[in-house]
Amino acid sequence: MNEMIGTLEKHQAPVDLSLIVLGDMVSNLLLSSVQENKRIELAEAFSQALLNSLKTPNKKH
């Protein structure tokens, strides 16, 4: 994953492309590493955590 992020940064990929690549990486991780009956629950929790992090003003990551 670090290599992919480095490549995106090196080539100054647009934000939308970077998000598509990141989403694909997350999907692949869920599909390859999480039991089928837990995937949706984990994806929803991840999505909610992402949304919550955006609602917190001035929070640096």
Instruction: Name which of 26, 31, 32, 36 is nearest 5 in CA terms.
Output: 26
Residue 19's domain comprises: 2-55
Residue 61 contacts by C-beta under 8 Å, 6 or more apart in sequence? 53
Q: pLDDT in tens for each of the 61 residues of the chain?
A: 889 889 999 999 999 999 999 999 999 999 999 999 999 999 999 999 999 999 977 666 5
- Tell me, yes or no, whether 61 lies in a domain: no
Supply the pLDDT for residue 56: 79
- Polymer length of the chain: 61
What gap in Å lies between CA 3 and CA 21, rounded to an integer? 12
Number of domains in the chain: 1
